[in-house]
Amino acid sequence: MGSFQSLPDDHQYRTLSQKTGFSLEQIAILHNRFKQLSQNEETLRRDDLKTIQDLESNPIRYQIIEAFFDRRNFQKDGVGSVEEIGFEEFLTVMSYFRAPAHRITEEQKEEMRRAKLRFLFNMHDTDNDGTITLEEYRHVVEELLSRSGALGRETAKGIADAAMLEVASISVGPMAPDEFYEGITFEQFLKILKGIEIETRMHIRFLNMDTTVLCKQHCV
């Protein structure tokens, strides 16, 4: 599979590289993968992603697939979801998983952290009202535990409830019995996940991808 094609692609790659921060080589590899997944069409659909076999056993596969089609992740201030995406959007979503560069300032690190956590937040906040409500959080935990079979929805509810209680007590503090806690806002989300070093944990080593692996027919 050829990597660098004719000149227009090269130019396109450069703009993409500037926008997302990937190197040209990485963009070429990802483009190959995109073409493979979309069966050489220009756009990718949900069904194309659903055909990936390895994804079958992943408990949160639907959320992951949805994240690719969520306009909020395209960095263009859109909302809602789309039916199909082009390579640029694909790459934009992938760019959330880049590792931080070696020497970056504290500000850049913080920015990257916010961007990655925003991605996670969007995955949870499906109705896009800016908060993760109890129902949405319950759904998240249920999906996580869905593969574990035996214990089912009850435990998931319990865990989600405990988690919400924890966030509420950390963020808001003591509440009177008739106050109502709407849900986790983005700022609170940032706060509770301060312990996890997102910028280093949420990354994939893109450069180590082997092109021969990509040629294997996982799809179809």
Partner 1 sequence: MSVRKRRIYIDYCGMFILVLGLLVGSLMPLGGAASSPDTGTGHGGSHGNKNPGNGTTYSKKPFPVLSFDYEHVRLPFEISLWVLLASLMKLGFHLIPRVSSIVPESCLLIVVGLLVGGLIKMVGEDPPVLESKIFFFYLLPPIILDAGYFMPIRQFTENLGTILMFAVVGTLWNSFFVGGLLYGVCQLEGHKLAYVDLLSCLLFGSIISAVDPVAVLAVFEEIHINELLHILVFGESLLNDAVTVVLYHLFEEYSSVGSITFMDVFLGIVCFLVVSLGGIVVGAIYGILAAFTSRFTSHTRVIEPLFVFVYSYMAYLSAEVFHLSGIMALIACGAVMRPYVEANISHKSHTTIKYFLKMWSSVSDTLIFIFLGVSTVAGPHQWNWTFVVATVIFCLVARVLGVVGLTFVINKFRIVKLTSKDQFIIAYGGLRGAIAFSLVYLLNPKHFPMRNMFLTAIITVIFFTVFVQGMTIRPLVDLLAVKKKQETKRSINEEIHTQFLDHLLTGIEDICGHYGHHHWKDKLNRFNKKYVKKCLIAGERSKEPQLIAFYHKMEMKQAIELVESGGGAKLPSALPSTVSMQNIQPKKPSQDRALPQLSKAREEEIRKILRTNLQRTRQRLRSYNRHTLIADPYEDGWNEMLLKRKKMKELEKKMNNYLTVPAPPPDSPTITRARLASDPQAWGLKSVTESIPTIKVDLASPQSPESVNVVDEFSKKGSQPKEEEGGLTMKVPSPAKQRKDKTPDEEPQQRLMRCLSDPGPAPEEIQPLRSCSGCALHI
For helices 61-68 and 134-145, angle between their N-to-C axes, nearest 10 degrees: 120
Q: Give the position of tokens 């991808």.
A: 209
For helices 106-124 and 61-68, angle between their N-to-C axes, nearest 10 degrees: 120
Given candidates 148, 185, 186, 187, which one binds partner 1 under the rule CB under 8 A? 148
Given candidates 4, 11, 97, 127, which one binds partner 1 under the rule CB under 8 A? 97
Is residue 204 involved in binding partner 1 (CB under 8 A)?
yes
Given candidates 76, 83, 149, 187, which one binds partner 1 under the rule CB under 8 A? 149
Q: Give the position of tokens 């069904």.
A: 47
Query: Which region, judged by CB under 8 A, interacts with partner 1, from 5-13, 14-22, 77-85, 197-205?
Result: 197-205
For residue 138, CA distances in Å to 10, 147, 158 come to 45, 15, 9
Binding to partner 1, residues 17-36 (CB under 8 A): 30, 33, 36
CB of 79 to partner 1, least distance (A): 22
Q: What is the 3-state secondary structure (H, E, C) of 135-148?
A: HHHHHHHHHHHHHH
Query: Which region, judged by CB under 8 A, interacts with partner 1, from 9-17, 75-83, 107-115, 178-186?
Result: 178-186
**CB-based contacts of 13, cutoff 8 Å, min separation 6:** 4, 24, 27, 28, 31
Q: Degrees (nearest 5) of the Cα angle 77, 81, 85?
A: 90
CB of 3 to partner 1, least distance (A): 15
CB of 187 to partner 1, least distance (A): 14
Is residue 46 involved in binding partner 1 (CB under 8 A)?
no
Q: Which is nearer to partner 1, 83 or 178 (CB)?
A: 178
Is residue 144 involved in binding partner 1 (CB under 8 A)?
yes
Asked if residue 102 lies in contact with residue 95, where contact means CB atoms within 8 angstroms, the answer is no
Given candidates 35, 45, 61, 71, which one binds partner 1 under the rule CB under 8 A? 61
Is residue 179 involved in binding partner 1 (CB under 8 A)?
yes
For residues 182 and 47, what is the distance between their CA atoms, to the nearest angstrom? 35
Binding to partner 1, residues 100-139 (CB under 8 A): 100, 102, 120, 123, 133-135
